[in-house]
Structure 1
Amino acid sequence: MVYRLLADVMMVLHGAFLLFFAIGGFLAWRWRKVIWAHLAVGVYNIVNVTLDFACPLTGVEKHFRREGGEVPYDGGYIAHYLDGRIWPEGATPIAEKVGFALLIVSYVGFFVLGHRRKRRAAREESVVTRT
């Protein structure tokens, strides 16, 4: 019973990890320090997709499922939970490209907003020093 609960917790955490990958860069627009965690997640996902290795989060979930008396699913988390449910079956490569496009767009926005903030702060400082 406990192992099945732990497996379900891992499933939810894994989903949250993937969701953070998709939107974490945009969250950093508001909370700038989030960018460091998102950079780590982004690099991890780039390496994972490039080298195509098994995600350890999936391995932990499957371990808990086995310990709980369940037969773990074949394949990875995305193939099992998302492919054919969140997007059309077989469209995972497109979903990956969309995820990485979101990462790039969010980082461009992050740097543009950061530049604007610095310019605004410099302008406000020059107004204060002139008066």
Structure 2
Amino acid sequence: SACRFSILPVHCRAHRQYLLSGQHYDFPSYRSVVHEVTQAFAAASREVLAVEAELAGPRAQPVLARHVRSLQELEQTRLATVALLQVMGTPGVSEQDPEKLHQLKIKVIKTMEAIGEVLQELRFDAESAE
């Protein structure tokens, strides 16, 4: 399942509940949770952008700022891919395409690996900057 890759377990639980609500899907409740998660992600994103700006400007750490930017972009890619996986898995939304689902799952895994690599580089460069 795509949810095991998501950093937003609340959204995943809500998606599962939505799918389990059967023939009369409870879309308003699901939409509400998606809105809350989106708001929380937007707030976190603003904080990350502020950290990036601080590193790029006053702290004069452009290498660290680039790492933070890369993490932000990779996280956006991962979240968009997980969301697409969830939509593709929703009954009645689209026809199941096993190959496309597999490709999207591989993309999530590769994105997670790239996030891990950037985090390692960030840790190393942050320790070197001290």
Give the alignment's TM-score, normalised by structure 2.
Answer: 0.34
Higher relative contact order (CA 8 A, sep 6+): 1
TM-score, normalised to structure 1's length? 0.34
